[in-house]
Structure formats: structure tokens, C-alpha cells
Structure 1
Amino acid sequence: MHAEGSSPPPQEIDTPPITHSNSETPTPSVNGGNVQPATSSAPSRKRKRPPATAPSPAPSDPGSNTGNGANATDLLPTSRADLSSRPILTISRGPIFVPTAEGSEWFKTEMVGVNRIGYRYVPAGINPAGYASPCRTIESNPTSLRVSWEDRSPFLKVKKDGLSICGSKGFRSARCNAPFREGKWYMEVKILHGGGEHVVDEARREGSHVRLGWGRREAPLNAPVGLDGYSYGFRDKTGEKVTLSRPRPYGRPFGTGDVVGMYISLAPRRKPNPKDPHDPAHLKRERIPIDLKGQEVFEILEYPQSKEMAALMDYSGKTTNSASLPSTAKKPVGGKPERGPSQPGSKSPATNLRPLPILPGSRIAFFVNGECQGLAFQDLYDYIPLRQTETQRKANSRRRAREGVKEHRENSFDDGTLGYYPFISLFNDASVRLNPGPDFEYPPPSDIDAFLDSMSSEQPVKPPDSSHPDPSDISISIELSHPPQNPMPVAAEGADVKPSIPIPMDVEATENANRTSASDTDPAPAPSASSSRTWRPAFERYPEFMAEEWAFDALEEEEAKVEAAKHAAADKAEEEKRKQREKRRQQAEARKKARKAAAEQAANATLAEEEHEISLGREGGGGRATPVSAVYGHVGVHSTQPSPSPLRQSTAYDAFEEAVEYVPSPAPTFASYGEVQGGQSGYTSENNQEQQMDDEMDVDQELEAILDS
């Protein structure tokens, strides 16, 4: 167990640094040592595109991501050398409290990542050397259950202890810093200013109002509790309970000076199916460590709202089923669509919607100055995300492959922060103070569930009149923090639902004429003196939650080490393969060189042997041998004549062979008689006539010589 105020270590997250490139930046040219800007080319007719920048998984606040100053927002470097310069913290640096006015007791907070639409932030600390993960979860002061510095509307003002909170114009909300996931819990909230009253220097027409309740992560912070099915609230103005923006009669109104007790009972958390990897009850985090205004924090995509919850909000008729879906619209003769329950033969428009699971036996109840107002909500919707469809998983997988490793990813699993949070909504300058225990101003009974059961059996709750809405509610349109995407169940209370009445966002102007004063109500029932208390004060939840977070960190650290070992083994195997490939390449090159050298050596040896044979022929006197150039046709050695064709049996004339006597070709043989004359010996008819004439002259000369003798 870690000591209070300390945080255990980290988890490895491979975050490559963000690189920025701009292809349109001119390249400087160097001229004689002087750097001159490159001359701009002719303007291009192509459509200009923004400079290519690496996608940042950590978008910054508007106007705070310029330069590298104290307000810059960027990814934390993953190299241990880069992180070594940062201090290792166990408590976050922030927040810095700035008074809203000179001498005011209310403060705004700086140097803290306040949640915004679609994103939330958790304080992070650098892990010491030796850890596979660069960062871990840490706390911020004070280390106790209080209003979260990060998980609240930035328009709300706080005190330094985190237990007092004040509103501003319009409805703004805040969650506490620990979720309630199972068990029975109780806390008190004292109304410092509310119930429709005006502050002395307040010039607004409407007064200040408070709504208290319990909400999930998907509930928006710039709207009141009970706006949708992700939260359940209790109104100070009328004492009504509200969820899905539908007020219903519940208890008595409350105002300045009253103490409201908040009780929640949740069934044990469902265990994930180990054989089902897509079970959303599995624990998994999707967060990225970033530098936010000089403070290390984890940036996380907030859980989105679902289309199933949007269907619940689209109420269009009376029904006795609080979890009903929109009915089909029939077009009458007049042309105006008629709303009503779907016919048996008609096709339901919600057939493709996923079912909304509930937490059986879960309850919410409220107390006013120790007086139990009865059971407000039961069978709350389960806070575990809805299972993703196969199409959604494939789309998410493609998105991951396209966007890269460090892009933000929508988490379809429980990350350990899901549950029901104490949810406080303030209108105008209303203010409250939290009391998470252990000492309560109005202690509740030791067994609240048994007391609620006894109340319901003695005084059954009458169904509310759903035909007429409360005239004091002035409806205005609001914009959700993000489109409804993640389904949230409505509490099944077994009572008729009022028609859809848009929640009054900025106006709760009129006091309820039928509001009952505290003096007219029955005295609060005496709490049970039994020592066996079945519920726990809310302050005990915070250390449990931090222990769960640190255990999660340790689990992720072990997984990161295993992954790092796998990556190291894979890198080592790849390095061995690379070395083997390099070795084989070198061996192949060596063999190639050896073959080439052997071929050259054999050619040189053959040439030397031939030259040796030629030289031996010359020394033997058998006539002058044919030079090597005549054999191989080498030009410029002994003759400029081309080498004779190997098909011919004659030898080309050599200018150096002057003493050689040429023997005339032998006379034609019998084998050549049948051929064309001179066809074999090479003689022609003209050569034959000249020879005959020469022979005749020789005969004449011989005859003349004989006669002379």
C-alpha cells in the first residue's frame, strides 16, 4: 500500500516526437559566404494546400500552442534521456489559485488541464529510470475526496480545499475526483446560496439555483444534472427528480441553508468474460502523456454518447415504459404526422439499436435536513460501455492502421474511471459546500435500503400527473458537448413519464407557489441506533480509487515490460537475420571474385602456353611459324591484314615471306570433270586459252631450235 500523497510508477507508451515540415518554405542560397534568400519562382496556378504536419494526438487549447513557451502543448518525449531533465513528482504542480476579484474567497485555477469537449485530463508524473513506462498516475492536492480540478466546467469558481464551489451565469456542473462503482455510499451537500434567491449585488432577473445528483462520465459539464440518461438529479426549485430532461414529482424544495443528503447503492461490478476479448467490462486504458502548460498530464478521449441514448431523448408520446424508444409516425388524412405507439404489424425503427443494460437493485435517494425524500431512482443504467459492433471494430481497426500508433483512439472498454460521480450543477451565483464525511450534520439511518423499503410499503408513491407540464419551466434549446453516441439507461421507476419538457438551462425564474417550507414538514425520522451500518461515507472512496489506479499502473508496467522483452527479442532476431544476410552477401561476392580471378588466370595460362608453342615452332626450323596476331586476328602486331576465314584452306599473303616459292595448283582431277570448267581448280576458260597459246609458243620455239641445229 502506498502512502497517502504518493503515486507508484509508470507504463511504456511509444510516443514519437511531432515533426513539422513545410514544403513551401524557401531554401536559402549561399553566395560568397553570404546567405541570401532564394528567389521566389513564378506563382503557381495550383491550389495551395496547408503545410504538411504530423498529426498530433494531443490537441492544445486555442491560442496556447504557439512556440515552446510555458503554455505550449506537445507530446512528451519517450527517450529516457529527454525525460531525465524533468523532476520526478508524486504530487502535481497545479493548480495555481487566482482570486476572481480582489479580496474574494473564490478562485479560478491555472496550470491545470480542465476537461473540454471530447477530452479529459489526469495528472501524470515522470517515472524514474528502470521503468518500461515513461509516466504514471499521480495525485493533486488536497489528496481527498473533493471537486475535481480537471473535471469541472471552467466557469465554476472554487476554494482551495476543493469542497466549496460557486457558479456563474447559466448552468455549470462539476464532478468529484473519484467514481463510485459498487457498494452503498452517502455524503452531504450544504446549500450556501440557492433556492432562487438573489445575491445582494446580483443584477440578474433570475435567482440562483442548485441541482444535485449522480452522473456518469458521458454527462456534459456545461449543462445541469438530469439533462440526459447519463445523470439523475434533484431540483431545489420544485423538489422534483429529473432525468432525460423530464422532471417528476419527488420531494420537497430546498434552498439556502438546507443540507441535502445524497445516497447511492450500486450492485457489485460485473466481472468480464475471460473468453470474450470484446467484452467491454475488460479493463483497458487509452491515454497519451503530454506536456500541458509545463505540467505532465494524460490526455484521454472522453467516452462519447450513443445513438441509443439519443433515441431515449427523442420522446414523442405518453407511455408507461420509461425506457421506451420512439414510436413510428403515421400520416393521417390531414397530412400532419400523428405520434403514437407503433402498430403490431409495423416495423420498429429501433430494431438495430443495442440493448441498454441496467444495474439491478441499484438505487438513488435524497435527504433534506435529515428527512428522507423516498426512493428517487432505481435500476440505474450500467456505466460499462455498450459492446461495439463488428462494423465499428473494423472501422476502428482501419482508423488505427491509417492514423498511426499514437493517434487518440476511442476506448470501447472500461478504463477504471467509469462509474457514478457526485454531480453538482449551479445556476447563476449559487454556491454549495460538500461534506464527504465521516461526520455528518444529519446522519442517515444505519440501513438506508431497509428504511426506503419501509417508506415505500407504508406510503406508496402516486403516479405523477403527466398531462400538464410545470408552467414555471421555461424551455430553451441547448447544445450538447458532443453528439449523442453512447447509450445511457433511464431509471425504471414504474411510474408514468411526463411528456417531453426541455430542461430549463438558463432560467428558473419563478418561485414555486406550492413550495412547502421546512417548518410545515414532518420532523425527520430518528436514525437507527444500530452499530451495523450498511453504507459507507463517501470520503473512504478516494483512497480506494487511487489504490485501484496505482494497481492498474503496476499491471500496465508489467505488460509494458513483457512487450518490451518481446520487441527486444524480435529486434535481436531481426539483427541476427540481417547479419546472416550480410554474411551470405559477402560470401557470394567473394565467390564471384574468386571465379573471376580463376577465369582470368586460366586465360593468361592458355595465352602463355600458345605463345610458348609458337616460340618452340620457330626454334625447330620447320619454317617460320604464323604469328599470334595472325591466329587471333590481333591488329597491329605483324600484319595489318584481317585474319583469314577459318573456312578457307589457303594462307593470306605475308609481306615478310618473300623467299617462299609458290607451287602452282595441281591439274584438275577426274572428280572434277563432271563439274563446270574450272569449278574445282579455280581455272576459267580464258586462263585455259592463254595456257594453250603459251604451250604452242613453247612448241614452236623448240621446233625452231631443232631446225637451227
Structure 2
Amino acid sequence: MDLSGETNQNLSKAGRQPKRKLTGNEAVTGTVGKKGRPAASDLSAIINKLPAHGYPLEHPFNKDGYRYVLAEPDPHAPFRQEYDESPDWAGKPIPGWLYRVLTPNAVLVALHDRAPQMKISEDRLSVTGDKGYCMSRCTHFVTRGSWYWEATIEEMPEGSATRIGFGQEYANLQSPLGYDKFGYSWRSRKGTKFHESHGKHYSDGYGEGDTLGFLIILPEQEGVRYLPNTYKERPLVKFKSHLYYEDKDKVSDTLKNLKIHPDSKIIFFKNGKCQGIAFENIYSGAYYPSISIHKNATVSLNFGAEEFKYPEILKEYNCSPMHDRVEAFICEQTMADMFFFTENDGKLRL
């Protein structure tokens, strides 16, 4: 899905950037009601019109060097009440710090953070490919600890294939996982493992009916601040009655700063049996469960909200189900917002 219209920057004057045109469907930035604030219908749309899985069905996709993060009003922001009651905001951009990242209420396939041609089931726990290799990421990432999830190959017609594993936010969505430095994957054909387009023999292949396990181990590092981005300094754009933070990709800078995460590991399992360590000392960063599919194979996912087919792996490897990231991520996002307001105390003005 494409965007159109112009995006207004919603930072203070010192932090504003030039306007950028969006292409495709109609999009408008932070429109305001008669009293100068977002119309009540806009705010209620954010809160009341979201599906049960917590994400709009019509949304901007992450692509063309830009990422879009769903936002909601931040009740703890300074001057929140003054802003809501002010009659002086007509036609003005909305400061991003008055909003906060809307944290997903379950680990699911991300609707916006995927190749648009991939088909996602209504419950967002199944993915079907289309033609050439392309990828979907999930809603939650991990930066430390040991985390596990499962995928079952529901259908794998002749000629189709999958590469599944873990990818960072800049792993190319229009490529197989493991194409670049941001992804690590396990391929169905011949069981090959892939990173940075280098394939190496790892295990036997897998196919229709197999349940695969994916474990990532990221030991905690001293001196690292494990908090997510607040995006509060980024502009807000409006699309189909919802507000999103707009953030520009920083791929080249991230590539330059990639560092090894000491003692990190990725391990794959097939029908409950460990296939051995696939990758060691991977790059540091935030890793999402990621699925790439060639042609029209279908893969279902289980992040632990329902019992795993092989729950004994959790105890044996002392790891947590990805589902447990939901509550932890809400806490981390709240802490990040608190730090932002503390560090900018006295600097934020309407």
C-alpha cells in the first residue's frame, strides 16, 4: 500500500525537517478539530477502531527508506491537558512527544513490517508467500536473554521454499532472510543456513508437516542501555485516521557500527530435535522472528500464547517463549518514555 499527500514535521522548530511527499493512497498529517487539536473522531479512531489484534487494517508499509510506527496519545506527557484544551493549534503540526508508541498486545506477524505481497491470515499467525522470495517480520524484538518460538510448515507445494529465523529491522523485506548482514536463516531445501548470502550446510532439509523451533541466545552485555526507541523526536503523520511516527532508515550508519555480540547463539530444532548450533557470535542488535517464503508455501507460527508442540525445549535450554516479550516490552517502552521526559525536563514547550 502506498501513501500520498505531504507529511508535516511535528517537532519543535529546532528539530523540523523538510516536508516529504508520499505516494499512493490519500494521507494527511495531524489534522486538527475546530478548537485546534486532533478531532475527537481521530482520537477515538485510534482507540476504538483498532481490530482485536491492535493494528489498523489499512496502514502505511515500511519501505522506500522510511518506517512507520503506530502512535497513541501519551497521557503522561507534560502539557497534555493544556494541548487538549487549547484553541490555538489549528493547522499546526503536533509535537511528537505528546504521543507514544502503541505497544502491541500480542506477538504476531507485523502487518506493516512485511513485503506487501505476502498474505497474512486474519489471526496474524500464518503467512503465505507469493512468487519470488520476500519476507515478514513479527511485532516484537529481543536484544538480550534466551527466546524461543515455533513454526509449522502447513503447505509447501512443489517449487516453493522457505528461509526462517531471526532478522533485524533493516533486513531487506524484498529478499530472503539471510540475504544481508541483518539476518540469519535456515532454508527448507537441503537444510542450508544463510547469513549475508553465504549458504553453508547445516542439517537435513524440512518440509510440509514439520514443526521447527527457533532459539536465540543473547547474553546481557555490561554498559548497554536496553531500552527501545521512543520516537518522540520524530514527526507524526496521519494515515486513514491513525497517527504514525515517521522514521528514516539508517542502514549505512548501522552497517558501519555493527559489532559482534559475544557468546551469542542461534539454534534450530526440527520436530523437537536439536540440529546443533547454527550461528555463533552474531551481530549485536534487536532481533525479530522473521519468515521469508519463495512462491506460495504457508507457514503457521506459535510464539507461546498456545502451548508449544515441544515445550520441553524451554526447560532444557532455560529459555522463554517469545510471548513473554509482550509484558516486558510494555515495561521497557514505559521506561524509555520516562527517561525521555526526564532528560528533556524543562525543554519541552507547546
Fold shared per TM-score above 0.5: yes
Shift of 1:81: 2.6
Instruction: Assess, with a 3 A threshold, how the Cα gap between structure 1 residues 281 and 158 changes in structure 2: closer, same or farther.
Output: closer
| Structure 1 residue matching 2:100: 3-state secondary structure | strand
Match of 2:311 in 1: 443
- 1:558: Cα distance to partner? 4.4
Given candidates 193, 199, 208, the residue that maps to 2:155 is 193
Q: Which residue of 1 aligns with 2:287?
A: 420
Paired residue type of 2:192? E
The structure showing larger relative contact order (alpha-carbon pairs under 8 Å, at least 6 residues apart) is: 2
What RMSD over aligned residues (CA atoms) do the two structures have, in Å?
3.3
The runs of 5 or more residues in structure 1 that have no matched partner are 1-11, 19-53, 65-70, 98-108, 199-206, 274-279, 310-353, 384-418, 450-533, 569-709
- The separation in 2 between residues aligned to 1:272 and 1:369, in whole angstroms, is 36
Residue 81 of structure 2 corresponds to residue 130 of structure 1 = yes
Matching residue's letter, 1:137:
V
Post-superposition offset of 1:422: 0.5
Secondary structure at the residue paired with 1:185? strand
TM-score scaled by length of structure 1: 0.41
Q: Which residue of 2 aligns with 1:158?
A: 120
Choose the corresponding residue for 1:241, options 171, 193, 204.
193
SS of residue matched to 1:563:
coil
Whole-Å separation in 1 of the counterparts to 2:320 and 2:73 = 34
Whose helix proportion is higher, 1 or 2? 1
Residues 372 and 247 (structure 1), Cα distance of their counterparts in 2 relative to 1, 3 Å cut: same
Alignment-derived partner of residue 93 in structure 2 = none
Which among 37, 43, 62 is matched to residue 87 of structure 1?
Answer: 43
Aligned residue identity for 1:125: E
Aligned residues: 318
Please give the alpha-carbon distance, in whole angstroms, between the structure 1 residues aligned to 2:47 and 2:169. 24
Quickly say closer, same or farther: Cα 1:283–1:291, change in 2 above 3 A.
Answer: closer
After superposition, the Cα gap between the structure-2 partners of 1:357 and 1:78, relative to the gap in structure 1 and judged at 3 Å, is farther
**Matched residue, 2:247:** 300
In terms of Rg, which structure is larger?
A: 1
Give the 5 Å matches for 1:386-405: none
Name the structure 2 match of 1:256: 208
Which residue does 1:556 correspond to in 2? 340
* 1:89 to partner: Cα distance: 6.3
Q: 1: CA distance between counterparts of 2:331 and 2:46? A: 14
C-alpha distance after superposition, 1:525-547 (max 9, x if no partner) = xxxxxxxxx11111001221122
Residues of 2 paired with 1:95 and 1:303: CA distance?
31
Partner of residue 166, structure 2: 214
Q: TM-score, normalised by structure 2?
A: 0.80
Cα deviation code 1:197-235 (max 9, x no counterpart)? 23xxxxxxxx21111111111211111111012110000
Q: Deviations over 1:418-455 (max 9, x none)?
A: x0110100111111110111511123445655xxxxxx
Alpha-carbon distance in structure 1 between the residues aligned to 2:221 and 2:237: 31
Match among 132, 136, 147 for residue 170 of structure 1: 132
1:378 maps to 280
Q: Distance in 2 between matches of 1:249 and 1:223?
A: 20
Mapped contact 1:208–1:429 kept (Cα < 8 A): yes
Shift of residue 94, structure 1, vs aligned partner: 4.7
SS in 2 for 1:82: coil
Tell me the secondary structure at the aligned position of residue 366 of structure 1: strand
Question: In the TM superposition, what is the alpha-carbon distance from 1:289 to its structure 2 partner?
Answer: 1.1
Hey, what does 2:7 align to over in structure 1? none
1:72 is aligned to 2:44: no
Partners of 1:284 and 1:96 lie apart in 2 by 24
**Matching of residues 278-677 of structure 1 within 5 Å:** 285=231, 286-305=233-252, 356-383=258-285, 419-437=286-304, 439-446=307-314, 534-559=318-343, 562-564=346-348
1:127 Cα deviation after fit: 4.2
- Residue 117 and residue 96 in structure 1: after superposition, are their counterparts in 2 closer, same or farther (change >3 A)? farther
1:544 maps to amino acid: A
| Residue 113 of structure 1 pairs with residue 60 of structure 2 | yes
Q: Map residues 689-700 of structure 1 onto 2, 5 A cutoff.
A: none
AA partner of residue 43 (structure 2): P
Give distance in 1, aligned partners of 2:33 and 2:13: 6
Matches of 2:302 and 2:71, distance apart in 1: 27
AA aligned to 1:431 is: T
CA distance in 1, matches of 2:239, 2:263: 42
For 1:167 and 1:283, the matched residues in 2 are separated by 30
- What do the CA deviations read for 1:364-416 (whole angstroms, capped 9, x no partner)? 01001111110100101122xxxxxxxxxxxxxxxxxxxxxxxxxxxxxxxxx
C-alpha separation between the residues in 1 aligned to 2:228 and 2:326?
22
* Superposed displacement of residue 178, structure 1: 0.7
Q: Match for 1:371: what amino acid?
A: K
> Equivalents in 2 of 1:134, 1:374: separation in Å?
48
Describe how 1:31-42 pairs up with structure 2 within 5 A. none
Identity %: 29
2:340 partner SS: helix
C-alpha change, 1:178 and 1:281, in structure 2 (3 Å) is closer
* Distance in structure 1 (CA, Å) of the matches to 2:335 and 2:191: 41
Distance 1:78 1:358 in 2: 50
**Contact between 1:137 and 1:553, CA under 8 Å: does it hold in 2?**
no
* Residues 128 and 299, structure 2, Cα contact 8 Å, conserved in 1: yes
Q: Which moved more, 1:551-560 or 1:356-365?
A: 551-560
Residue identity matched to 1:292: F
Distance 1:355 1:125 in 2: 31
For the 8 Å contact 2:193–2:202, the answer to whether it is kept is: yes
Amino acid across the alignment from 2:202: Y
Report the counterpart of residue 24 of structure 2 in structure 1: 63
CA shift, 1:160, in A, is 1.7
Contact in 1 for aligned 2:31/2:39 (Cα 8 Å): no
Between the aligned partners of 2:52 and 2:304, the Cα distance in structure 1 is 26
C-alpha contact 2:260 2:284 (8 A) present in aligned 1: yes
The SS at the match of 2:326 is: helix
8 Å Cα contact 1:176/1:422 also seen in 2:
yes
Aligned partner letter, 1:63? G
Structure 1 residues 137 and 181: CA distance shift in structure 2, 3 A? same
Q: Helix, strand or coil: the match of 2:153?
A: strand
Structure 1 CA distance, aligned partners of 2:257 and 2:12?
Answer: 37
Q: Secondary structure at the match of 1:73?
A: coil
In structure 1, how many angstroms separate the alpha carbons of the residues matched to 2:114 and 2:235? 21
Where do 5+ consecutive residues of structure 2 fail to align?
Answer: 1-9, 84-96
Distance 1:137 1:240 in 2: 37
- C-alpha contact 1:234 1:242 (8 A) present in aligned 2: yes
